[in-house]
Chain A
Amino acid sequence: MPQTMLTKRIIPCLDVQNGRVVKGVKFVNLMDAGDPVACAQAYDAAMADELIFLDISASNENRPILIHVVEQVAESIYIPFTVGGGIRSLEDIRELLKAGCDKVSMNTGAIQDESLIASASRRFGTQCIVLAIDAKKEDSNTWRVYSHGGQKPTPLEAIHWAKRAEKLGAGEILLTSIDRDGTKDGYDLDLLKRVSDSVRIPVIASGGAGALEHFYDGFVHGHADACLAASVFHFGEFRIAELKNYLLRRGIPVRV
Chain B
Amino acid sequence: MIVVIDYGMGNLRSVSKALEHLGGKVKVSSKAEDIDKADKLVLPGVGAYGDAVGELRNLRLFDSIKAYLDSHRPFLGICLGLQLLFPRSDESPDTIGLGCLPGRVRKFKSPGIKIPHIGWNQVCIKQKHELLRGIPDESFFYFVHSYYAQPQDDAMIAGTSTYGAEVFAAIVAMDNLFATQFHPEKSQSMGLAILKNFLQW
Contacts and interface: CB of A to CB of B under 8 A. Distances in A.
Nearest to A3: B162
Interface residues of A, number: 37
Interface in B19-39: 21
Nearest to B45: A125
Interface in B158-195: 160-163, 167, 183, 185-189, 191-192
A102 B18 CA distance: 14
Interface string A2-46: 111111110000000000000000000000000000000000100
A225 B116 contact: no
Interface in B73-113: none
A172 B146 CA distance: 12
A79 B186 contact: yes
A102 B145 CA distance: 13
Given A4-B123, A128-B10, A74 B47 contact: no
Chain B's interface: helix, strand, loop or mixed, by majority? mixed
A102 B79 CA distance: 13
Given A49-B119, A126-B116, A200-B114, A2 B124 contact: yes
A101 B10 CA distance: 10
Chain A's interface: helix, strand, loop or mixed, by majority? loop
Contacts of B163: 6
Interface in B137-161: 138, 140, 142-146, 160-161
A75 B118 contact: no
Contact of B11 (A7, A9, A101): A101
B121 interface: yes
Contacts of A80: 142, 144, 183, 186
Given A7-B140, A78-B185, A100 B14 contact: yes
B118 A202 contact: yes
Interface residues of B, number: 42
B117 interface: yes
Contacts of B201: none
Contact of A7 (B17, B116, B120): B120
B188 A44 contact: yes
A97 interface: yes
Given A4-B138, A79-B142, A102-B14, A127 B46 contact: yes
A202 B114 contact: yes
B122 interface: yes
Given A79-B187, A125-B9, 6 more contacts: A5-B122, A8-B119, A9-B120, A127-B47, A171-B118, A200-B115
19 contacts: A2-B124, A3-B162, A4-B121, A5-B121, A5-B122, A6-B121, A7-B120, A74-B17, A75-B17, A75-B21, A78-B18, A78-B192, A80-B144, A100-B17, A124-B10, A126-B116, A201-B114, A225-B114, A225-B118
